[in-house]
Structures are given as structure tokens and as C-alpha cells.
Structure 1
Amino acid sequence: MHEIITLQLGQRANYLATHFWNLQESYFTYNEEEESPVDHDVHFRPGVGADGSETYTPRTVIYDLKGGFGTLRKYNALYELTEDATPGQGLWDGKEILQQQALIPQSDYQKSLDAGLPAPTLSAETVRYWSDYNRLFYHPRSIVQLNDYELNSKIMPFEDWTIGEELFNELDKEHDLLDRDVRPFAEECDQLRALQIFTGSDDAWGGFAAKYIDRIRDEYGKKSVWVWAIENGKKVDRQTQFKRDLNKARSVHAISTQASLYAPIIDPPSRIPRSIYLDPRSEWYTSALVSAAMESVSLPTRLRPYHDFEASLAGDDSIHKIFELQSTIVQDGEDAAKSPTKPSDDSDEKEPGSSPIKKDFDLDFTYDGLTCQKSHHVFNQLQVSRGVADRENESGGEDQGILRRKRHFNSEPMFQRFHTTLPFPVLDSFPQNMFPELRSKEKISILAALTVSSRTAERLKVYETLAGRVAGVDERETLVNGLGEIRETYETGWMSDSDFDDD
């Protein structure tokens, strides 16, 4: 068994992760004759409920600010504890006055799930919190509310990167967060494979995540760490955007060098194809679109049989850690193996023969709105196609290690493709009108990719310039120099030490 522990840091991370967990729950099969292609033990853990019944809950730790959990309670129907209605007052003889915050009423969707009735159609107006469309029960250990800050507070906004650093340091000093929150899940694993982290990167959660990952690396140094770094794509005033961009620069500098995968995700991307309907004001909508790409591209990590996802990410040198997330919704009648986008002069690598490398996707979650040169070099690409039949056999059954060595010898980009006939399920917790042009409203085909390219160097150069102008004197030199060192590894013509060794 190769288990994965998930950490969810903050409101936007929890919107995305809730879609992710709903999808994992949908893959369960209850017919003994039908085995799911998804290995549920990767992300779920067995346990025992309060009444002694067996439970199966996500192996995750969910952090959010005060007021961020909505209607989600720490103790749910599986772990409900009977509390003394009149607890003892101890040594206090006076009259007690209990002040309790008003409970948030359940949404109609949640009421229907609890009653076992057909769920009503959700809308941007009816989803107030990420818990409003959650379909799972979580273990009480998974729910961690941070009471030091309140969600959407105007007095103490949780926005500056350094505030997140300080909060983690304070909490870790008091509680040892890794020991309290992560270790109990890790000790249950037979063979811990990776830690997956959903986090905001352009606010205080970026600083919180950076410190957390420092501790993870100290404790679980050899384990993979996959970071889905969410950036707010909504338009704001110039000053606020400067603050967000500086926070993003700090996150890239502090986290990408520690992670095995660091995927910046603009939520929502600024360019949306006409075949997709999106309400950009609703985090439920925008995170649903992101989840279709993110969940699809990470699908090989939980498919049967075991897939060596880590080797595909490593490429030929294990140096490049910053990946671009891209996807295309395959239209009716198209083949996921073929490029579903319009051909262009620079859409594919110009190599002898037909290259499997794709550059032109309908949705680019990493570089929308950023001016990048059209012609850029791809170092590594991992593609995942799901749904329709894949008539393209790029490897011919040849060993992937041999293929990687051939590509390295021929100075070709590293490439690997995974395919599964398992389609993307459009659940009742998902916006029902997002793909209006597709005939099938319940199952869709997707081509998703993680790409390492020289575009990252351009983005890091922008961050370097910004940090040189905006960052404080105490961090400016370290930040600018650190970003510069990372940038150099994504520039075309850069050679690693292994390249010199090969020569």
C-alpha cells in the first residue's frame, strides 16, 4: 500500500479539496464483483466510529480560520459523543453564563444528504461555504480550527505572508503541529508515499505552508511533497496586486525548492473557452473547474496497478520542481490522444516525426494573463487522458526508463502519458451547467498535463524585479538572489551537474 496524507490550508484550498474528496468518494463501488480502478486505501483510512461500527474517512488534516468551516462540525454522525447536559461546575459556586455563537443553518443540500433524499441542484447563491457541498464524513482529528484569526476579518486580515509564518511558529511552539496533527495519520500507514498540500500562496497561508513544509522535510525528508499553490485570479487594485505578487514570490522561493511538485494555480484563469460556463464570483464554480484538471492529472497516483508518478515528475535530472497545470475538455467525437486544440506553428515541439508534447491547451491555470513569448522550450511533460478510448500508443510497451534515457540522449523533452477509461464524473455537488455544449452531462473526457517549460524563467524574472522594488531591506537580497538561482535552471541551454557528468 502506498498511502498519501493530505493537508488543506485555508479557505480557497478547502474549496478545491472538497471537490477533490467528493470525487474520491464517487469512485467507491459497492458490488463485490466490480472492483474500482481507484485504490481507495491511498487516500482513505479505516477506523471505528463512536458506536463501534467500521468507518472509512479521508486521510487529511483541514485547517481554516474561525468561521471558515460553515456548518461542518468536528464531531459528526460517525463520531457523535454523548455529552453531559449538566456538566459539573468544579470549584465554581457562582452562576454560569454560557455564551455561544449562533449556529449556521444547514443548506438544503446537506439536509437532503443527511435524510438520504435526492439532493437539490446547487447554485452560486446556495453555496455559502465549502462545507455546503461536502459529501463526506471526516475524522474529528481532521478538523483543526485556528482561532487566532477570523475569516474575512477587516480588522485583522490574514493576508500578509509573514503573518502566516508567525502564526505557524506560535502554534508549533505550543502544540508541535506535526506531532499532534500529522503523526497520528502517518503512524497508521503501511508505506507512506507522499504528502499532498492544498494551500493559498498569495496570502498568509503561503507563509504558513512554507514553515509547515520546512518541518515536514525535517521529519519526512525522503517522502514526496506535492504542493497545489492556489493564487487568487480575481482582479484587484494595483497596490493589492503588488502585495499578492510579492507573497507569490516568497512562496515560490521558500516552497518550490523543498517540494517534489510545486504547481501554481490561478483560480480562476483569465481566459475561459466559450464551451465552458463559469461564474467568476463564485469560489464553488472556479474551484470546480480547477478540480477537473488537478484531480485528473493526479489520477495515476491512486489507480490500480501502481504507477511511478514520481519518476515522471523527476524528468531526467530531478531539478525542475515548478510545473504548469493545463487541461482541455475533450468535445464530443474527439479523441483524447489527439490534440483537441487548433493546430499552430508553435503548438508542438519541432522535432523529427510527430511529437507527443502539447503546448496549446484550452485552459492554462499557471500563465493566463502573463505575457510570455510564444516559442518556449519544454523540459518535461506528464499527460493524463481519461474517458474516451486512447488509440495512440506512444511507448509501444517499451520500458519507461529506457524511453527516458533515449529522450535524454537525443536532447528531447522528457515525456510520459497515462490513460484511463475512467471518465470525469460530474457529481450533483458540481456546477451542472459548466459544460453546456457536451451531450453527456454526467461523464466527460479530459486531457490534463503537468508541464515544465522555460516560461517559468520569465515568470520568476518578473518576481525578481518586483522583489527588488517592493520587498523590505531585510529580505530583499536573499529573495532576489534566491529567485535568480531558481530561474537559471528553467532557462534554455542550462546544464545541470549531471549533464557535465554525462559528458
Structure 2
Amino acid sequence: MREIITLQLGQQSNYLDTQESYFTYGQEEESPVDHDVHFRPGLGADGTETYMPRTVIYDLKGGFGSMRKINALYEAEDGEPTALWNGQTVVQRQQPIGQSAYQESLDAGTAAPELTSSSVRYWSDFSRVYYHPRSIVQLNEYELNSSLMPFEKWAMGEELFSSLDKDHDIVDRDLRPFAEEADHMQGLQIMTGIDDAWGGFAAKYLERLRDEYGKIPIWVWGLQEPVMNLPREKRLLRLVNKARALADMYSQASLIIPLSIPQRLPSKISLDRSSLWQVSALFNAAIESTSLYTRIRTSDQVNSTSFGTATDLLNVFGKQTIANLQFSSVEPPKPAHNGTNGGMEFPTGRGELYDSLNAMEYEDQSDEGPQSGVASLDVNLSSLDGGMPPPVGFRPRRKPYLFSQLTTVRGDEASKANDLDEVDDEDRGRERPKTHRFKSNLSFPMLDSYPRIFRDSDENRLTEPLSIRTVLSADSSVTDNMKGLRATVVRSIGLEDREDIGNELAEIAEGYKEGWSSGSDDDEDD
């Protein structure tokens, strides 16, 4: 098997958990996705066979909502536990959080009500899977959304991990049981915020993981919350957290993919930026799609690969750990009456379909050769500016240079368009090197727990499975991102760490210059 174990750190990451999307229980048709990659078989308390995610979930006190550590598949035995204390006891009970109407409908087997941003209070309100009790880890040292002691500074996360690890050996207690039951683990993935205290927690966790699993590929999905309504000092704090997290993780992770919501979105995406449910759904569409090839059955050798191979394809020179992610969704073709016999036809021709799906355009790089073309899709999730204006005098490079990119095309319409892209021999001769393509007929599923954030050309909400195209790339725009981040935050970092972090960010920027010459566009270090 090719197991992937997931570590989910904090609210942002836990909202991303929709792994049941591809799970099929029937035997009518074999799924192209290998469920064993993300799910582990087991036995419930009553002896029934179960499948639960290979994941460890960390959240603060109050972050799990109505979810119980012991669920219906692992009910505690009846009867009172034997008391070990004969003295007087005082019991204090906190009012439990009630189930959402959506969860009640799942338990009752009735039709689920439509979810809204106001009805989703916690990520557990719309979770559709059971978890093994070992997967649930509540950190009681901090409380979710506390106004007295918010979990927002990078050092808080670092100190919390160090304290817990000293007392319990977190990796041995929480992760090792999942790792030991894996036959051939292809890698670990960490979903974490990088602009709050979870960035510090994740950086220390990653350091321990690298000590224990030196050769295992580890991908980090670095989530950033929208900052549109935050005051300047809060935005600056998030940028400092981000700089610290990236500087610490860069040498430990196999790949880091920062994710943020761009300031402008295409009209076909309607997003409530104040809703973690909706924001995480947009991230989820991109993450699930760009990593699909790591879950496809190995019988499809052309479109199936592993974390390790994908890392090697992207990190050409061994110093390009940070990758950029973009994606586009494709509206399904609209049926229309043909006006003859009352039947239906699809007016979108193959040419129109091709144009729609191959909206992946390249910068005009005729003076630098074809390798310098960087894909440009509808939604670019790779920004690191945190909503702050660029530093005075900062001049980004006009033409990002492409080292390597992985393109994923999924869905019936997307696969047809990709076939058109590859059959033309003349186009073959012009195909840009270091571009690796994966495709699947499996569309992105739209469960009833997924917010209706995608729209068609008539502003109607899309509810059918989507075709999606993603591009994960290593390119020289990371140099600009690191230099801009460094110039913005370096004076806000304490004197004891300022030089080290500044030097580490500059070193990351230098890693995206090797193998090419930027000529007159090359900037001097700040």
C-alpha cells in the first residue's frame, strides 16, 4: 500500500477534512481512488468492519464542537468505572455543545438540511466521518477564540509543543501507532496555519518528525486566514508569524505549499471570506485536486505517482522547497433544446471546450526561452503579502522563471480538453520542458456538506461534480515573495532573532536563482 498520514493542526486545517469525498461502499464499480491511502481498516466495538481516516487531529479546548472522542463505533463499556479515590469528590460539568441539525440528520438517517455559513459553528458540524479515538487530541492549555489569551503568536505554539513533547513524547504517543500499522508509507502531510501560533507548533512538530522519519517525504499545506478586516498591527503580526514559520520549515519539509485567498476572485466564485467553512472549501478544491494522483490506483501508472516522486519532479535543484498553487474550475456544459424533436443537445463544441479548459496561459518569455513560461490559472493561492502593501522601493521581477510544474486535470470535460492539448504533433514539438501532466475522469465531488461557492455564467449555484485544473509550480516568483516578506517584517522581529530570520529568508530567495540568470531583473538584497 501507499499510505499517507495526515496531521491536522488547528481550526483552519480541520475545516479542510472532507476525505470521505471519494469513499465508496458498494461493490458495483471499483473506485479509481485507492481508499487505503487515506483510510485505515479496523473493527468497531461490535465487531463490524470500519474505515477511518489515517489522521491525527489537534485543536484547542472547545474546538471540536459536539464531537466526542469516543464515537458510536467505539462506545465505552456500560457500567460505572471503579473508583481509585475514596475521598470526597466535586464534579464540575461544562454545558455540552449540542449537535448541529446536519449531524442530527446523519444520525437519524433523514434528509440533511442545507448548510449555511451561520449554521456551521465548528468543523464537526458538517463532518461526515467517524474518527478513531486516537485521532482526537484536544489541547486544553488554550481555548478557542479566547479574548484573554488568544493563540496567535508564533512563540506560543513553539512553547506549547515543547511543553507537551517533554511530558508525553507527542510523536511516539500520537503518530507512531498510525505509522506502525502502515505497510509502505509514501509520506506525511501536515495541514496547518502558518500565520498564527499553529505555525510555531507545526515547525517544532516538523523538526521532531524529521528526526524520527528522516527519509519520509513530508508536505506542509500552509494555510493563511483572510485579513481584509484586520487592523494593520494584526496583519503585521501574521506576517511575522509567517516569516518565522517558513524560515524554520524550509530546511525540514520536503515541500511547502502556502495557501491564501487572493484579494480578487473570478465572478464564478462567490465566497464569504469571514466563513472558515467557505474559505476552507476553496482551499480543499485545490488541495484535493492537485494531490489526486497520489491516491489514484497504481494500475493507472501514467497518472499515479507518490509524494516522493512529485517532490523530486518539482524540487529540481534541491533548494526549491516552496511551491505555488493555482487552479481553475470548469462549468459543466449546458444542455439545450435542439428545436427539432424536443431532444437535448450540448451546444458547447469541442473547440469551445478546449478554449475554456486551456485557459492556462503563459507569460511572453520569448527572450528567455520556453522554460520561463509560468502557468496562469483563474485563482492564484500563492500570495504571502498578507494584505500589506509592498515595501517602498521594492520592485518585483516582471518575468517569473519556471523550474518545474505539475499540472492536474480532472473530470470528463477536463480530460477531453487535455487530450486535445496533447494530440497535435506540432504542439508536441513546442511543449515546454519540465511540465508533468496527470489527468483523471474523476470529477471533484460536491457533497451536501460542501458550500455552494461555485457559480455558472448565469450566477446559478453549481451542485454537480466539477472539472478542475490545477498547477503546482516551482518558479522564481518565490524570490520576490521572500524578499518582499523580509523587507516588510524584518524590523518587527526581535533583535535576538532578526538577523537569523532575515538571513534564512534571503537564503530561500537565493535558492530560486540557481540554474538560470535573471539579468537586469535581478534585485539587490535589502
Q: What's the TM-score once normalised by structure 1's chain length?
A: 0.88
Amino acid at match of 1:254: D
Alignment of 1:87-486 (within 5 A): 87-94=81-88, 96-235=89-228, 236-266=230-260, 268-305=261-298, 307-309=304-306, 310-315=308-313, 316-333=316-333, 340=357, 347=363, 350=366, 359-367=375-383, 372-387=396-411, 388=413, 389-393=415-419, 414-437=434-457, 441-486=463-508
Distance 1:291 1:133 in 2: 14
Summarize deviations over 1:426-445 as a string: whole Å, max 9, x none: 11001135324478622111
Distance 1:196 1:229 in 2: 11
Amino acid at match of 1:308: T
CA contact (8 A) 2:373 2:400 kept: no
Measured at CA, do residues 361 and 343 of structure 1 come closer, stay the same or move farther in structure 2, by a change above 3 Å? Answer: closer
CA contact (8 A) 1:269 1:364 kept: yes
Distance 1:349 1:419 in 2: 27
Deviation at 1:353, TM superposition (A): 10
Deviates more, 1:209-218 or 1:29-38: 29-38
Summarize deviations over 1:454-489 as a string: whole Å, max 9, x none: 111011012222343111111111111111111111
Distance 2:212 2:422 in 1: 38
Deviation at 1:330, TM superposition (A): 1.4
Amino acid at match of 2:249: I
Question: Who is 1:36 aligned against?
Answer: 31
Secondary structure in 1 aligned to 2:317?
A: coil
Q: What's the TM-score once normalised by structure 2's chain length?
A: 0.84
Summarize deviations over 1:281-311 as a string: whole Å, max 9, x none: 1110111111111110000000012623433
Secondary structure in 2 aligned to 1:78?
A: helix
Secondary structure in 2 aligned to 1:263?
A: strand
Measured at CA, do residues 138 and 295 of structure 1 come closer, stay the same or move farther in structure 2, by a change above 3 Å? Answer: same
Measured at CA, do residues 353 and 243 of structure 1 come closer, stay the same or move farther in structure 2, by a change above 3 Å? Answer: closer
Deviates more, 1:142-151 or 1:43-52: 43-52
Question: Who is 1:71 aligned against?
Answer: 66
CA contact (8 A) 2:196 2:238 kept: yes
Amino acid at match of 2:26: N
Deviation at 1:351, TM superposition (A): 8.6
Deviation at 1:375, TM superposition (A): 2.3
Deviation at 1:491, TM superposition (A): 3.0
Question: How well do the aligned residues superpose, as a CA RMSD in angstroms?
Answer: 2.8
Deviation at 1:240, TM superposition (A): 1.0
Distance 1:125 1:480 in 2: 41
- Percent of aligned pairs sharing the same letter: 48
42, 51, 54: which one pairs with 1:56? 51
Summarize deviations over 1:264-289 as a string: whole Å, max 9, x none: 001x3321111111111111011111
CA contact (8 A) 1:328 1:363 kept: yes
Distance 2:479 2:453 in 1: 37
Measured at CA, do residues 473 and 276 of structure 1 come closer, stay the same or move farther in structure 2, by a change above 3 Å? Answer: same
21, 27, 35: which one pairs with 2:22? 27
CA contact (8 A) 1:70 1:129 kept: yes
Deviation at 1:156, TM superposition (A): 1.2
CA contact (8 A) 1:464 1:484 kept: yes
Distance 1:327 1:485 in 2: 28
CA contact (8 A) 1:341 1:361 kept: no
CA contact (8 A) 2:326 2:377 kept: yes
Measured at CA, do residues 47 and 246 of structure 1 come closer, stay the same or move farther in structure 2, by a change above 3 Å? Answer: same
Distance 1:450 1:225 in 2: 16
Distance 2:194 2:356 in 1: 31
Q: Any stretches of 5+ residues in structure 1 without a counterpart?
A: 397-402, 496-503
Secondary structure in 2 aligned to 1:214?
A: helix
Question: Who is 1:400 aligned against?
Answer: none
The alignment of Structure 1 onto Structure 2 pairs a total of residues equal to 477
Amino acid at match of 1:390: K
Measured at CA, do residues 492 and 89 of structure 1 come closer, stay the same or move farther in structure 2, by a change above 3 Å? Answer: closer
Distance 1:416 1:351 in 2: 23
Distance 2:367 2:418 in 1: 18
Measured at CA, do residues 337 and 99 of structure 1 come closer, stay the same or move farther in structure 2, by a change above 3 Å? Answer: farther
Amino acid at match of 2:442: L
CA contact (8 A) 1:15 1:283 kept: yes
Measured at CA, do residues 385 and 354 of structure 1 come closer, stay the same or move farther in structure 2, by a change above 3 Å? Answer: farther
Question: Who is 2:522 aligned against?
Answer: none
Measured at CA, do residues 45 and 239 of structure 1 come closer, stay the same or move farther in structure 2, by a change above 3 Å? Answer: same
Deviation at 1:197, TM superposition (A): 0.6
CA contact (8 A) 1:296 1:446 kept: yes
Distance 1:126 1:439 in 2: 19
Measured at CA, do residues 336 and 167 of structure 1 come closer, stay the same or move farther in structure 2, by a change above 3 Å? Answer: farther
Secondary structure in 2 aligned to 1:192?
A: coil
CA contact (8 A) 1:379 1:453 kept: yes
Deviation at 1:260, TM superposition (A): 1.4
Distance 2:368 2:499 in 1: 44
Amino acid at match of 2:233: Q
Deviation at 1:217, TM superposition (A): 0.6
Distance 1:323 1:159 in 2: 25
Amino acid at match of 1:26: S
CA contact (8 A) 2:360 2:375 kept: no
